[in-house]
A = this chain, B = another copy of it.
Amino acid sequence: MGIVVQKYGGTSVGNPERIKRVAKRIIECRKAGNMVVAVVSALGDTTDKLIELAKQITDSPPEREMDMLLSTGEQVSIALLAMAIKSMGWDVISLTGAQVGILTNNVHTKAKIIEVSCERLKKELNEGKIVIVAGFQGVTCDNEITTLGRGGSDTTAVAVAAALKADVCEIYTDVDGVYTTDPRMIPEARKLDVITYDEMLEMASLGAGVLQPRAVEFAKLNNVVLHVRSSFNYNEGTIVKGEKEVSDSGIHREKEMVVTGVAYDLNTARIGLFDVPDKPGIAKKIFTALAEKNINVDMIIQGATRNGRTDISFTVAEDDADKALEVMKEIVEEIGISGVSCDKDVAKVSIVGAGMITNPGVAAAMFQALADENINVQMISTSEIKVSCIINKKDTEKAVKSIHKKFNLEGN
């Protein structure tokens, strides 16, 4: 008997009708001869409603109590889903994170999983039960309830799959899989049959919202095969696995495909620092000041030096832009720069592909696609499997379309 771990998001279990549909889907997998563990998120907008309730009490709720509050959302889902499955005649049990033994550190509201105990899960599976697990939550060694932060349920599913050495971890969502780019923007976008962990990681970090980077990292680390697919139909989705496994499988992947996808991110802003003294310790000062305020920096570009001075630009999430500008203004004098600018009117477009490394000229082709549309590139950043450009926000759609076409990513 194979072991399949399935994960259903909040939209998939948004109301009683949908819960019943998910129950049927789980039972089908069980009927096909698999042991099934399903990880579920809170119903629809439950989490938002609970946060709203907390806000009515206080503006700064203690994080430990937020976890106590929010973890109830998934507990409601697992109970209802187990009821639905039982009413269809199948043996089932729901388990909270604490009951499974999803051990985390004690960083409330964004805890990290340390270990998943298999004992209880295996006992229930061996008794022939379908097991429903609350996503997003865990427990510390002191029996304190924790939550895993954004995308936590994906991480729970992958961690459970890793612990059970499951054959596959199916991530059910409201889209058919991972696309060459956002299909809502570019109708020609094509669903990918397969993608490597690294590509998926870059795509996810770059704004393809279908999977959380943390969960992909966890899957890569433990070699858990992911299957991203829709809970609304039975189409095959996108398989995410290691590079070697992808090459070995062969059939799914066109040889000449150097770029796998085009991602874009509108939630970005560019901060510019002018006439930065080009001497040791300055960059450290700038980015330590930002880190101390918990501001994540994405791209960093340092220009060439003229007369002992240089320009530095970096990007942050748009929500953090004002805070970052504040921090920079505080240290203007200390580091002796001539000025600071902030531009929220930018976007980041990126190409991702494991094939890039062995194919020169990929970046050039991307710049060509942008130039063809008269789009100015403000910043460039490259890694082994991606190239990112900062452009004017209003050009985003045009840019993605042009790049997508340039690399022949359209559907057949």
Contact = CB atoms under 8 A, between A and B. Distances in A.
A35 to B, nearest CB: 20
Contacts of A94: 65, 68
Interface string A22-40: 0000000000000000000
Contacts of A82: 62, 65, 68
Contacts of A76: 50, 53, 69, 72
Nearest to A73: B72
A57 B16 contact: yes
B72 A16 contact: no
A302 interface: no
Interface string A131-146: 0000000000001110
A56 interface: yes
Contacts of A69: 75-76, 79-80, 83
A325 interface: no
Given A16-B53, A72-B72, A98-B98, A79 B66 contact: yes
Contacts of A78: 68
A24 to B, nearest CB: 13
A54 interface: yes
A87 interface: yes
A26 to B, nearest CB: 14
Interface residues of A, number: 37
Contacts of A98: 98, 143
With a 10 A CB-CB cut-off, give which of A62, A68, A75, A82 has the most chain B CB atoms. Answer: A68
Given A16-B53, A76-B50, A98-B98, A84 B58 contact: yes
A55 to B, nearest CB: 9
Contact of A86 (B16, B58, B84): B58
25 contacts: A16-B53, A16-B57, A53-B76, A53-B80, A54-B79, A60-B87, A61-B86, A61-B87, A62-B86, A64-B93, A65-B83, A65-B86, A65-B94, A68-B79, A68-B82, A68-B94, A68-B96, A69-B75, A69-B79, A72-B72, A72-B75, A72-B79, A75-B75, A96-B145, A98-B143
Given A68-B82, A75-B75, 7 more contacts: A57-B80, A61-B87, A62-B82, A65-B86, A69-B80, A72-B76, A99-B144
Query: Which 10 pairs show the lowest CB-CB distances between chains A and B?
Result: A58-B87, A69-B79, A72-B72, A16-B56, A68-B79, A61-B83, A65-B79, A57-B83, A65-B82, A72-B75
